[in-house]
């Protein structure tokens, strides 16, 4: 499978012209013979990419006081907890915020408020914040997310995730794609026999089909 992924990645890179920004490479799956209406069958995985994401993720934290100072020192953007309720009443602004960041963190006391006012926006996107207990430096949690890809199917048989960026080598991208492939098939009852198709593409490039032996 590693060779098949590497071939598809190479074709995706060669088939997409250089852009004036660094494109993300995406990997998509379409499943078969599996009931995703049953939540137990859905894919919800966080995969540590062996070659990293290829760019720094954007991380924000709901925090105030000393914790906000620690988060700011770690390079995180701060969202004032006092604005949570107001954001909840402005759906467009809340969506814009949700789309701006890859991950969210929150001090534990604010988790309930975030869920109440912003859960309807963050939840479907798989972006509910990770709680940060008082003794923990948010830099530690943020550091672990810098190499993390979220693979999430919800109730859809087709879903996708980023495997890196165009500035990474084919070998690095292949290692990332293989890690995601292994995690996904490991969650399926019949492994790769539950994979109908798999594609690789750059952000704006053509989709390249990955040869799946048991599709």
User: Can you give the residue ranges of every domain in the chain?
Assistant: 2-54+148-209, 59-145
Q: Domain 2-54+148-209 adopts which CATH fold?
A: Ribulose 1,5 Bisphosphate Carboxylase/Oxygenase (3.30.190)
Radius of gyration, alpha carbons of the chain: 19
pLDDT of res. 214? 58
pTM of the model as a whole: 0.87
Would you tell me which CATH number, out of the four given (3.40.50.790, 3.40.1160.10, 1.10.10.10, 2.60.40.2140), belongs to the domain 59-145?
Answer: 3.40.50.790
pLDDT along the chain (215 residues), means of 10: 96 91 95 94 95 94 96 96 94 94 96 96 93 94 92 95 96 98 96 96 95 72
Q: What is the pLDDT of residue 18?
A: 83
């Amino acid at each position: 499978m590693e060779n098949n992924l590497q071939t598809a990645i190479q074709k995706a890179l060669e088939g997409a012209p250089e852009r004036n920004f660094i494109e993300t490479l995406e990997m998509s799956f379409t499943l078969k013979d599996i009931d995703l209406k049953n939540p137990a069958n859905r894919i919800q995985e966080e995969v540590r990419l062996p070659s990293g994401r290829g760019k720094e993720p954007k991380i924000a934290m709901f925090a105030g006081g000393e914790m906000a100072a620690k988060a700011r020192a770690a390079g995180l953007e701060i969202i004032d907890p006092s604005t949570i309720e107001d954001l909840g009443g402005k759906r467009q602004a809340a969506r814009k915020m949700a789309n701006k960041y890859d991950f969210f963190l929150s001090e534990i006391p604010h988790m309930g408020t975030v869920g109440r006012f912003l859960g309807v926006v963050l939840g479907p996107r798989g972006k509910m914040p990770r709680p940060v207990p008082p003794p923990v430096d948010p830099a530690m949690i943020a550091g672990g997310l810098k190499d993390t890809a979220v693979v999430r199917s919800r109730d859809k048989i087709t879903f996708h995730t980023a495997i890196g960026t165009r500035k990474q080598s084919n070998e690095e991208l292949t290692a990332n794609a293989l890690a995601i492939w292994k995690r996904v098939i490991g969650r399926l009852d019949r492994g790769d026999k539950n994979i109908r198709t798999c594609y690789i593409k750059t952000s704006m490039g053509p989709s390249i089909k990955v040869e799946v032996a048991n599709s």
